[in-house]
């Protein structure tokens, strides 16, 4: 069996790879388990230095990575890839490691030494998505390796070259091949390995259905799971917000990467007094985009990763319009092929009876609704099965925090959106999943506490 990446640029087969058999996959796990023990015994600073060197090697490959990403998942080359965020996250976790992994000393007296240490799980499976394939992978790969785990990376079939590139970079830095392995696995083999307790921890970023499959495979094994699943992230523009700044950031958050962002903005609520101004600004921003081949430096909006993803957004949009929504962007501005290339769209006169305001779209469409006050905005923002991030726009930090306290979400932003701060825990609630990555908490999830009660006399 093989996995195949069909390029969204032209529908051609870009790359294919054979998957491991269950026997080969079990052998890979055995090698990882054997190598992990020696890796964990290395001084922490050695592991930090090796991971940092691997990250730098990825940066040196960026000229090749950028067009590879365009071919694999459609992001325009003008944006230069992901190395900025990739390096920022890895560097922050490297700098945090000594503190985050330090033993917690309870007592060191003549009679007793009592201490809690953080020890690695063993082998960590990282299942990474295609939409930000380097940044989402490094969120777990870097701290897992630094904490002393071996890592097996299973990347999305849409971006198979990403795992291979990371493996080359990390191995060239001196990380043993058995300690960091890129593997091609089908769903059945992945589930079988999890069910067989092959891993001490599994981190999955992907769909709600994929998260349910992970939970089903892990049932009864007590394997730790970190799950970042779907999202329908809202933005709220209050009556004292900077309208221009809010529109520029929220619309970019809705449309960048063709709307294929984990924490992209998928619905916007605007104070009634500012609604018309906000919508006018939003429309002018979107009308300036150029949809086209991502290899063209002038392109600002490339194709979606797969035609079926674009079809789902088309369906949600058409259903909303049929139910009374108004589409504000003229299709004549954005010639498209009916396949992966999808025009951006702004919808007004929407409500929560429409799928486009309730279900994950993961594409370049956003619905905008007016609201009377904070209470109505909070009610609507919470009226969702998902909870990853929420963006509040106001000049009053205390107001933003109070609104945030009432929101069912993993992260609250004030006057920004669509950003992952490695100093804060990346987490979600409801159907967005469970667990937390990055920050000190990320290290805690990638290790387990081990207590020592030593009686000296």
Place of tokens 């093989």: 2
Non-local CB neighbours of 113 within 8 Å, separated by 6+ positions: 107, 452, 454, 456
Using an 8 Å Cβ cutoff, are 28 and 328 in contact?
A: no
Judged against a pLDDT cut of 80, whether residue 304 lies above it is answered with: yes
Distance between CA atoms of 86 and 200, rounded to whole angstroms? Answer: 25
**What mean pLDDT is reported for the chain?**
97
Instruction: Examine the pLDDT at 337 and tell me if it is beyond 90.
Output: no
- The predicted pLDDT at position 336 comes to 77
| CA angle at 77 for the pair 75 and 79, rounded to the nearest 5° | 80
Pick from 388, 339, 337, 334: nearest CA to 360 = 388
Span 214-230, mean pLDDT? 97
- The CATH architecture one would assign to domain 2-229+432-455 is 3-Layer(aba) Sandwich (3.40)
Q: What is the pLDDT of residue 335?
A: 86
Strand 150-155 relative to strand 180-182, pairing: parallel
> In angstroms, what CA-CA distances link 355 with 255, 275, 314, 369, 433?
18, 22, 12, 14, 20
Domains 2-229+432-455 and 233-421 share a fold: no
pLDDT band at 195 (very low <50, low <70, confident <90, very high): very high
What is the model's pLDDT at position 272?
98
Is pLDDT of 39 > 90? yes
- Strands of the sheet containing 104-108, edge to edge, are 104-108, 112-120, 447-455
Q: What is the pLDDT of residue 242?
A: 98
Give the pLDDT band (50/70/90) at residue 338.
confident
Q: How many CA atoms lie within 13 A of 312 on its CB side?
A: 14
Q: 50 and 161 in contact (C-beta within 8 Å)?
A: no
In the chain, the percentage of residues whose pLDDT exceeds 90 is 98
CA dist 285 and 252 (Å) reads: 9
pLDDT digits (tens, 9 = 90+) for 391-424: 999 999 999 999 999 999 999 999 999 899 999 9
- Rounded Cα distance between 35 and 150, Å, is 7
Q: How confident is the model at residue 457 (pLDDT cuts 50, 70, 90)?
A: confident
Q: Which residues are catalytic?
A: 228, 262
Handedness of CA 71, 76, 78, 79 (dihedral sign): negative
What pLDDT score does 38 carry? Answer: 98
What confidence tens digit (pLDDT) does each residue in 84-117 have? 999 999 999 999 999 999 999 999 999 999 999 9
pLDDT digits (tens, 9 = 90+) for 240-281: 999 999 999 999 999 999 999 999 999 999 999 999 999 999
Instruction: Examine the pLDDT at 75 and tell me if it is beyond 80.
Output: yes
Return the pLDDT at 452. Answer: 98
C-alpha count within 13 angstroms, C-beta hemisphere, residue 9: 21
- State mean pLDDT over 41-48: 98
CATH architecture of 233-421: 3-Layer(aba) Sandwich (3.40)
**Which tens digits make up the pLDDT trace of 349-375?**
999 999 999 999 999 999 999 999 999
Say whether pLDDT at 174 is over 90: yes
Domain ranges of the chain: 2-229+432-455, 233-421
C-alpha distances (whole Å) from 184 to each of 18, 89, 252 are: 7, 25, 34
Distance CA 253, CA 103 (A): 40
pLDDT, residue 9, reads 97
pLDDT of residue 438: 98
Q: How confident is the model at residue 59 (pLDDT cuts 50, 70, 90)?
A: very high
pLDDT band at 429 (very low <50, low <70, confident <90, very high): very high
């Amino acid at each position: 069996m093989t996995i195949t990446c069909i390029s969204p640029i032209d529908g051609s087969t870009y790359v294919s790879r054979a998957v491991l058999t269950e026997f080969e996959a079990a052998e890979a796990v055995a090698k990882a388990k054997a190598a992990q023990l020696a890796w964990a015994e290395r001084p922490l600073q050695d592991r930090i230095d090796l991971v940092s060197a691997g990250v730098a090697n990825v940066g040196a490959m960026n000229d090749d990575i950028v067009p590879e990403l365009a071919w694999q998942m459609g992001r325009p080359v003008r944006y230069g890839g992901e190395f900025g965020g990739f390096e920022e996250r890895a560097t922050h976790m490297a700098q945090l490691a000594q503190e985050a992994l330090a033993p917690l000393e309870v007592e060191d007296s003549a009679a007793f030494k009592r201490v809690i240490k953080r020890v690695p799980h063993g082998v960590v499976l990282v299942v990474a998505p295609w939409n930000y394939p380097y940044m989402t992978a490094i969120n777990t790969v870097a701290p897992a390796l630094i904490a002393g785990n071996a890592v097996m990376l299973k990347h999305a079939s849409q971006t198979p070259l990403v795992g291979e590139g990371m493996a080359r970079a990390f191995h060239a830095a001196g990380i043993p091949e058995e300690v960091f392995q890129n593997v091609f696995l089908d769903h059945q083999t992945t589930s079988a390995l999890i069910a067989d307790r092959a891993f001490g921890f599994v981190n999955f970023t992907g769909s709600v259905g994929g998260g349910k499959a992970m939970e089903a495979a892990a049932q009864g094994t007590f394997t730790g799971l970190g799950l970042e699943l779907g999202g329908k992230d809202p933005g709220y523009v209050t009556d004292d917000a900077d309208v221009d700044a809010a529109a520029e950031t929220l619309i970019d958050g809705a449309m960048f990467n063709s709307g294929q962002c984990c924490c992209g903005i998928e619905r916007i609520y605007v104070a009634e007094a500012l609604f018309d101004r906000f919508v006018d600004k939003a429309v002018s921003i979107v009308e300036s985009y150029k949809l086209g081949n991502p290899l063209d430096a002038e392109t600002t909006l490339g194709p979606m990763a797969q035609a079926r993803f674009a079809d789902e957004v088309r369906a949600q949009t058409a259903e909303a319009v049929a139910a009374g929504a108004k589409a504000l962007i003229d299709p004549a501005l954005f010639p498209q092929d009916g396949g992966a290339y999808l025009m951006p769209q702004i919808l007004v006169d929407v409500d929560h009876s429409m799928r486009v305001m309730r279900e994950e779209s993961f594409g370049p469409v956003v619905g905008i609704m007016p609201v009377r006050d904070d209470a109505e905005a909070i009610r609507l923002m919470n009226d969702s099965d998902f909870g990853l991030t929420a963006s509040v726009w106001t000049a009053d930090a205390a107001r933003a925090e109070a609104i945030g306290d009432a929101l069912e979400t993993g992260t609250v932003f004030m006057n920004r959106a669509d950003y992952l701060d490695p100093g804060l825990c990346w987490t979600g609630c409801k159907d967005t999943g469970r667990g937390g990555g990055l920050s000190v908490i990320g290290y805690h999830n990638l290790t387990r506490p081990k207590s020592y009660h030593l009686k000296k006399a």
